[in-house]
Chain A
Amino acid sequence: MSLISSKKLLPMAFFVSLLLLVLLSQSNSVLAQGEEPTDDDVNRIAKQLYCPVCESTPLDACPTEACRQWRDLIRQMLAEGKSEDEIKQYFVAQYGARVLSDPPNRLASYAVPVIAFLFGALLLFRGFRMWIKPAESEAVSSMDEAKPVQQDEYIQKMEEELNKRK
């Protein structure tokens, strides 16, 4: 049996070190998965949800006990390694699609108010145009007719006085 020479020992040490580094990096990633989710992680999902008990307040800002429980559940699910989509799907299954800040049926949710607004605006626009046009023409014709009448004595005297001073 011959002793391992220093020339062979050096590459071996290098490979062992490399192997240890790989193992350490893998153990770090496992630790990262098992880490406690931060408040930011929880709130990133919570702000996309609304609790039916307090409908107008997003979950990340709601101070009620119900919402605190929901945030705890999100934290627990994140710690279990659940993804954002999985968590949101769970909440929809449990409490209905109305908990989502971004409704799933986008076309119906957004198109109906926009169409209603556009038609309302069109109606108002046409209505105003119909009111303004006759009013303007009436005002113009009445001004033309009223010109000689509006020159009363006081204005005539004023104009005469001003002409004299010139």
Chain B
Amino acid sequence: MTELQNDAPVRKGVPLWAQIIIWALLVGLLVIVAMGLNRAQQGTVQPGHVIDNFTLPLFSGYQFEGRSEIHLDDFRGKIVVINFWASWCKPCEQEAAEMQTAWEEYGPTGEVIFIGVDYVDTEPDARVYLKKFGITYPNGPDLATHISQYFRIKGVPETYFVDRDGVLHYVQVGPFSSIDQIRNIIDPILAE
């Protein structure tokens, strides 16, 4: 019996430092995967979230009050309607006329600003689209998709309504079917 015990293989474990590194790397990888999955399942930015400032360069011909780029912070105290669209997006065409009508209705009050964010698009096609639907509110490309990544958009069109304090009030995923639908969102924010 004693011989058997002496002949038993001596287990040489992984050194402690190697174990720590291996487990740290594995945990790190799991955290990265978990963060990615969490982000994928999070959906868009939710109402109640304070929207951080962003800068949107504007297409020439679509400047706002002579400015070639706009910053969200410039519009604190106003209701901001941020519409993500693209010229290749057929559902965007369904709401394009309604968005422009709403801009013509609310823009002159000075209390509401519409911003068009052109997502993953080419400028020539974007210009054709804007001209086709007679869109006049400030529009520009989402350079390096920074803005759409911040809002975690799931597709286009998506429209975000930010109140006077910079807090996200409502998210519309998909196109608006009528001007009344847009009014029903803006009017309560205006009344606040």
Binding site for B on A (CB under 8 A): 51-53, 64-66, 68-70, 72-73, 76, 92-97, 115-116, 119-120, 122-123, 126, 130, 133-134, 137, 141
Contact = CB atoms under 8 A, between A and B. Distances in A.
A69 B121 contact: yes
A51 B120 CA distance: 8
A115 B22 CA distance: 10
B125 interface: yes
B86 A116 contact: no
B124 A66 contact: no
A73 B122 CA distance: 7
Interface stretch (B3-11, B42-50, B58-66, B171-179): B3-11
B26 interface: yes
Q: Of residues A51, A97, A123, A133, which shows the largest number of chain B Cβ atoms within 10 Å of its Cβ?
A: A123
4 tightest CB-CB pairs across the interface, nearest first? A96-B144, A65-B88, A66-B88, A73-B122
Nearest to A76: B124
Contact of A69 (B14, B122, B146): B122
Contact of A141 (B4, B120, B124, B145): B4
B88 A69 contact: yes
Contact of B22 (A52, A93, A123, A134): A123
Contacts of A92: 144
A11 to B, nearest CB: 54
Interface string B1-26: 00010001101011000000110011
B14 to A, nearest CB: 5
Contacts of B13: 130
Contacts of A68: 88
Contacts of B14: 123, 126
A122 B22 contact: yes
Contact of B120 (A53, A93, A123, A130): A53
Given A96-B144, A116-B25, A120-B26, A134 B87 contact: no
A66 B9 contact: no
A70 B29 contact: no
17 contacts: A65-B88, A68-B88, A69-B121, A70-B122, A72-B122, A72-B125, A73-B122, A94-B141, A94-B143, A94-B144, A95-B144, A116-B29, A119-B21, A119-B22, A123-B22, A133-B9, A141-B4
B13 to A, nearest CB: 8
Contacts of A115: 25
Given A66-B120, A116-B29, 12 more contacts: A66-B88, A69-B87, A69-B122, A73-B122, A73-B124, A94-B144, A95-B145, A96-B144, A115-B25, A120-B26, A126-B14, A134-B11
Contacts of A73: 122, 124
